[in-house]
Copies of this chain bind each other. A is one copy, B any other.
Amino acid sequence: MSGMELQGLSLIGAQRGAPGGAEFTAFDPVSAEDLPLTFHSASVADAQRATALASTAAPVLAALDGRQRGAFLSSIAAHLESGRAEFEHWVPLETGLPSARASGELSRTIAQLRLFAGWVEEGSWVDARIEHGDPTRTPLARPDLRSMLRALGPVVVFGASNFPLAFSVAGGDSASAWAAGCPVIVKAHPAHPASSERAGLAIRAAIKQCGLPEGTFSLLFDASQAIGSALLRDSQVRAVAFTGSRRGGRALLDIAAARPDPIPVYAEMGSVNPVFVMPQALAARGDAIAAQLHASATQGVGQFCTNPGVMVVPHGVVGDAWVVKLAGLFAGTPVGSMLTRPIAESYLEGIQRLASSAGVRCLHVKAASATGGVPSLFEVDSDLFLSDPTLHEEVFGPCSLIVRSQDLTDSLDIARSLPGQLTATVIADSGDYTASSVLLEVLQEKAGRVLMNGVPTGVEVSHAMVHGGPWPAATAPLTGSVGTAAMLRFCRRVCWQDVPDALLPAALQESNPAELLRLVDGQWRR
């Protein structure tokens, strides 16, 4: 027995949740058939046990040094790698994603954990600041002050539907919370429970290997929303991370804001990710741009938060021909299976809404399908787009709306009319740079990430990445949910005043044992 057998039961610290809750099955969205594995919803008592264990584990994790935290993250990575064959079995079955995607996403998830491991092992991320005291200062002696970032406490992570590994149980939210020193309780997404349980077992093995407290991690299954809601209201939970719909994120935010002690909800809720195609670029290399945007808009059946849902294209004959070209590419795209039935239904509603909007032209909409992601392309004039905010809303799936712009002024108005975005892209040649510069000025106020001559899909996991943005793309634009900057979500700053060196955290001790980069008396130095 490897200890990695799936049982369909929640993981509450080192224990299993009891059977008896509402059952649900893993489901194959391609065949539309149940898979032979039943999952049992956790009870509220399970959730309470998970938060109590997390609360006990919290100070232990907060006190781990960078090397210990890094070892834990690396151990999770290694245990995920050991399960590669199982993930490559379960992920395609549960999600309909191709096995190359499952394999690539697993590699991404592992690389993500290793990035965080290296970052916390180096350790300077705690932003240590030291000011030596001055007993001779008048009228008052200056105290010795030392502050740094510290773990916030138990974090609840909601697994995302569209990334069964990278934004799920051992994904970026969990990795950044553990890196910051926080215990994690994951509410598994019911669309991929087997993949979730398998990832959970890898994490549990890492906890055992590293000798960490069992409350470092729990995984809760639930067919309903009761457990998520109970976790949000639990007084021991200090923050929440979520990737999903705006409606879902808003609901979580409202629950958290109504607590006697409000807590932050870091929700990434998607956006239309506008792409502005500039005239010179369009004239010089329209075919290549069409191919690039078509691939970005339809890959993975369009099920990415950064999918380009709005393309702003110049008015006129060159633009007209380009739109026909792009429509042809959409027409030649096979219908893919969507991740879940609710996503497919919601997508169908979205394209029907666009198709029935007066003034919106259907360039390519195949016959509707109950579960398939039919690639869909629409077109609208800028004046209508500017006057109808419903056209600014994301249709999650392989759907794009082309907005025909009269000129730069029109494009600027379109940019200004948009709500907060995860990304905004400008496709430009050097002859477009002056206009692009003006456009970027507006777009950088609207989006967490601005791109030139690339596509918004493909979110690099790194220190410099921002995957977030102003409302409604996300709830807190100081950070995003991808890369090491995401750790700030799960930290608090604490200051120690005149505390003897031996009682200080190592990161703040005078000898700087880990050789961190620190701000000492106003100067950054190691």
Contacts and interface: CB of A to CB of B under 8 A. Distances in A.
Interface of A: 58-59, 62-63, 104, 118, 124, 129-131, 139-140, 142-143, 145-147, 149-150, 152-153, 253-254, 257-258, 261-264, 419-420, 433, 436-437, 440-441, 444-445, 447-454, 458, 460, 462-466, 468, 470-472, 475-480, 485, 488, 491-500, 502-503, 517, 519, 522, 524
Nearest to A436: B503
Contacts of A472: 261
Contact of A448 (B142, B493, B499): B493
A444 B129 contact: no
A380 to B, nearest CB: 24
B471 A261 contact: yes
Contacts of A58: 445
State the 3 A-B residue pairs at the shortest beta-carbon distance, nearest first: A477-B492, A257-B257, A466-B495
Contacts of A261: 419-420, 471-472
Contacts of A450: 494-497, 499
24 contacts: A59-B445, A118-B522, A129-B464, A131-B460, A131-B464, A142-B460, A145-B464, A147-B464, A147-B485, A149-B478, A153-B445, A254-B257, A262-B471, A433-B500, A433-B503, A436-B503, A448-B492, A448-B495, A450-B496, A452-B503, A463-B519, A477-B492, A478-B488, A517-B524
Contacts of A118: 522
B460 A143 contact: yes
Contacts of A63: 441
Nearest to A125: B519
A104 B502 CA distance: 35
Which residue, A118, A451, A493, has most C-beta atoms of chain B within 10 A?
A: A493
Nearest to A489: B478
A146 to B, nearest CB: 6
Work out how many copies of this chain go into the complex: 2
B493 A478 contact: yes
A9 B515 CA distance: 55
A308 B347 CA distance: 58
A444 B480 contact: no
Given A58-B445, A470-B492, 10 more contacts: A129-B463, A152-B477, A253-B257, A257-B257, A263-B471, A433-B502, A440-B503, A453-B498, A454-B497, A466-B495
Contacts of A440: 499, 503
Nearest to A518: B464
Given A264-B476, A444-B150, A145 B460 contact: yes
Contacts of A466: 147, 493-495
Nearest to A124: B524
A54 B94 CA distance: 50
Given A450-B497, A498-B453, A491 B478 contact: yes
A234 B295 CA distance: 40
Given A124-B524, A264-B476, A497 B463 contact: no
Contacts of A451: 143, 496-499
Contacts of A522: 118, 463
Contacts of A496: 444, 449-451
Contacts of A485: 129, 147, 493
Nearest to A508: B464
Contacts of A436: 503
Given A440-B503, A453-B498, A479 B493 contact: yes
A493 B476 contact: no
Which residue, A453, A462, A464, has most C-beta atoms of chain B within 10 A?
A: A464
